[in-house]
């Protein structure tokens, strides 16, 4: 058991254990089939809402759990130990969608949407486009005001949860002449005229997590669905993603831990040359290093989440946590495949799936190079550069 987990408060530990138990009992039986068919088991969605992990930070007055950002990160980690696909669904719901609504929506919008997001509606965060990835502010989606409506036209790519979602935070530019200062956020419901969910990506990993294109063809959005101020969408995007990176870090910690737990049990049980292979020093040095790195990554994620909850600067720490945890997940899961030898390379054993699932951690919500750039800029500022 991780020392960091043993030091959680009693409420935090109880919450973590309840999510971990749900993951083992309810998610685990579906993991292989979900991965094979590339789709979420539909029966899990209402159970996730009932568990209370789809609105962890949302205040009780809006139907949520009223807990902390740190608590949301714990849920993401605990689910990823069993299935990173289900974990990222919960991650996006909390650290991106609900987070943005709580910070930027007006009271009427919170009253209208938060109860749905905590009880039945999955949400998506739609920023990326065909020509807009790391350069997020190069987005081409346009929004034009017509009477009491905004008309949106464009395409969004790589949108997590899109197949399951009824609620989308969509970024569009209302005045391209102002560059990124024309970017504005809108709340789009699945049933709005001119909105549709397009092609689902056939991915290497986190296959049960839907990743789809969104198509906006004269999509009609009521003016009351403007999120925040006109031209402030860039601020919403930056600040929300800064927090979301902590969630990805938590997902990667859980992914690494899930693969490591399975590999350790296998190595202890597997006999060669008359003894457990876990006794061989060549393997001991390797799995000991894996354990060190997982614990270090966990502590970095927990630190960033605690700083965020305390209202202290956390952007550098969030970038570091996301960067390091994703690297640790990739290294650890790769080693776990090797620890199992030939069977580790087969789909009959779960470590190859953890290996595939880990790769996305270094790509989405800011590539590793983007994290390094953020860290470097903040270090320059720290040292007077």
User: Would strands 122-126 and 211-222 be described as parallel, antiparallel, or unpaired?
Assistant: unpaired
Q: Which two tokens stand for residue 249?
A: 């870090």
Neighbours of 277 (CB within 10 A): 19
CA distance 207 to 202: 7
3-state secondary structure string, the chain? Answer: CCHHHHCCCHHHHHHHHHHHHHHHHHHHHHHHHHHHHCCCCCCHHHHHHHHCCCCCCCCHHHCCCCCCHHHHHHHHHHHHCCCHHHHHHHHHHHHHHHHHHHHHCCHHHHHHHHHHHHHCCEEEEECCECCECCCHHHCCCEEEEECCEEEEEEEEEEEECCCCEEEEEEEEECCHHHHHHHEEEEEEECCCCCEEEEEECCCCCCCCCCEEEEEEEEEEEEHHHEECCCCCHHHHHHHHHHHHHHHHHHHHHHHHHHHHHHHHHHHHHCEECCEEHHHCHHHHHHHHHHHHHHHHHHHHHHHHHHHHHCCCCCHHHHHHHHHHHHHHHHHHHHHHHHHCHHHHHCCCCCHHHHHHHHHHHHCCCCCHHHHHHHHHHHHHHHCCC
Q: Any catalytic annotation for residue 365?
A: yes
- Which is the catalytic residue, given 243, 317, 352, 365? 365
Residues in the chain: 385
Nearest to 201 by CA among 32, 363, 366: 363
Point out which residues pair with 165 in neighbouring strands: 122
Q: How far is CA 63 from CA 55, 100, 203, 228, 276, in A?
A: 8, 17, 34, 22, 51
Active site residues: 365
């Amino acid at each position: 058991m991780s020392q960091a987990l043993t030091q959680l408060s009693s409420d935090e530990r109880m919450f973590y254990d309840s999510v971990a138990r749900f993951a083992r009992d309810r998610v685990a039986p579906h993991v292989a089939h979900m991965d094979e068919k590339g789709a979420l088991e539909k029966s899990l969605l209402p159970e996730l809402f009932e568990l209370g992990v789809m609105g962890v930070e949302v205040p009780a007055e809006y139907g949520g759990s009223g807990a902390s950002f740190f608590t949301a990160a714990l849920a993401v980690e605990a689910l990823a130990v069993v299935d990173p696909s289900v974990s990222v669904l919960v991650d996006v719901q909390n650290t991106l969608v609900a987070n943005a609504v709580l910070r930027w929506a007006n009271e009427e919008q919170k009253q209208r949407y938060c109860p749905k997001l905590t009880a039945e509606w999955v949400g998506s965060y739609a920023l990326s486009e065909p020509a807009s990835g790391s350069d997020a502010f190069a987005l081409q989606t346009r929004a034009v005001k017509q009477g009491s409506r905004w008309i949106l036209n464009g395409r969004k790519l790589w949108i997590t949860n899109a197949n399951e979602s009824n609620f989308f935070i969509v970024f569009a530019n209302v005045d391209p002449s102002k560059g990124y200062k024309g970017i504005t956020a809108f709340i789009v419901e699945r049933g709005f005229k001119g909105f549709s969910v397009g092609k689902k990506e056939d991915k290497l990993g986190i296959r049960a997590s839907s990743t789809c294109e969104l198509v906006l063809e004269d999509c009609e959005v009521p003016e009351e669905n403007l999120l925040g101020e006109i031209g402030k969408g860039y601020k919403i995007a930056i600040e929300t993603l800064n927090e979301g990176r902590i969630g990805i870090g938590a997902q990667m910690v859980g992914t690494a831990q899930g693969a490591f737990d399975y590999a350790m049990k296998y190595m202890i049980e597997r006999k060669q040359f008359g003894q457990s292979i876990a006794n061989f020093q060549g393997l001991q040095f390797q799995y000991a290093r894996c354990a060190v790195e997982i614990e270090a990554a966990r502590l970095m994620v927990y630190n960033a989440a605690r700083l965020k909850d305390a209202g202290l600067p956390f952007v550098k720490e969030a970038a570091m946590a996301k960067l390091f945890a994703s690297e640790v997940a990739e290294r650890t899961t790769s080693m776990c495949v090797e620890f199992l030898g030939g069977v580790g390379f087969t789909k009959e054993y779960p470590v190859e799936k953890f290996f595939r699932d880990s790769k996305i951690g270094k790509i989405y919500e800011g590539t590793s190079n983007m994290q390094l750039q953020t860290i470097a800029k903040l270090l320059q500022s720290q040292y007077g550069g």
